[in-house]
Amino acid sequence: MKIFQDIENYLGDKIITTVLLGGGCINETYQLTTSAKKSFFLKTNKNAPPDMFPMEAKGLEEIKSAQVLLTPQVLQINAHFLLLEFIKVQKKTPGFFSTFGRLLANHHKRPAIGWGYPSNNYIGANPQVSPLITYRPENSLRDWAQFYFENRILYQLKLAEKNHLSDPNLARLIGQLELKVPEILADGEEPPAILHGDLWSGNFLINQDHLPVLIDPAVYYGHREADLAMTKLFGGFSNDFYTAYNETYPLKPGYKFRENLYHLYHVLNHLNLFGKSYYGQCIALIQSYL
């Protein structure tokens, strides 16, 4: 397999075992062990867009650059694979989620230059379009509301229409929602933060120091509540996580009211990734505001 040959040339070492860790809906992942008894994590997809793995690596480095949360070290990248440090996963300790909540809160305190990102990337296998809007305190709410609706909700609707997964009812309801977005977001106005962008329970590991290590980012600069909302979408984290987060960086009143708007982006994305089983959830989230 040419990928393994490329990696051996990069490492200067022979790969002696390859263990398939799992194949999701998008990529295959392996644990590689070399003759020097060193392990590495490989993510590969021969059909990946040529910039998908480079943009994932950029997202990992962006999170790490804030110097609060950990990500695996990026070792080698090309259009078809990403080679990372191998994290030997540990079980959760009793205080793990409290530590994670405090770390994420401190990460979100780090300033970002605007809404969006300097380049587009991916949310799962779908493009994530993020034109950068420079942060202006006097226009903060308007800019975030415009960015979020146009580049998260409306973009996914257009993608659903292209994929024949939408209908006039969904388009009509999203049109009605557009008028309410500034009102929904008004009480949560804050500066932008560096977001993981896809922070659910499957996108962190626990290392040997019992600290969270974030993986599979869809990084952009946005409202921190968008990250927190995603943690609740597929099962949620421990209550200790949210308590520690809120003690470290208190959320503004009404954040639970705003959660469904942030959930909508990811549920629309799942509609586009996995099909019509997510259609009803999209409708329910929109109707919660109408």
Please state, in angstroms and as integers, the Cα–Cα distance from residue 72 to each residue in 45, 53, 169, 219, 228, following that order: 19, 14, 43, 15, 22
Reference 201, options 229, 226, 235; nearest CA is: 235
Cβ neighbors of 34 (< 8 A, separation 6 or more) are: 8, 11, 13, 14, 15, 16, 40
- Select which of 198, 209, 216, 240 is catalytic: 198
Please state, in angstroms and as integers, the Cα–Cα distance from residue 234 to each residue in 55, 229, 266, 268, 270, following that order: 25, 10, 10, 14, 12
Answer yes or no: are the C-beta atoms of 14 and 32 closer than 8 Å. Answer: no
- Is position 209 annotated as part of the catalytic site? no
Pairing label, strands 193-195, 133-134: unpaired
Residues in the chain: 290
Please state, in angstroms and as integers, the Cα–Cα distance from residue 90 to each residue in 93, 188, 205, following that order: 9, 36, 8
| Helix, strand or coil, per DSSP, at residue 279 | helix
CA 157 to chain centroid, in Å, comes to 19
Cβ neighbors of 89 (< 8 A, separation 6 or more) are: 205, 206, 207
Torsion from C-alpha of 275, 280, 283, 289, nearest 10 degrees: -130
- Whether the CA torsion 204, 205, 207, 210 is positive or negative: it is positive
Query: Which are the catalytic amino acids?
Result: 198
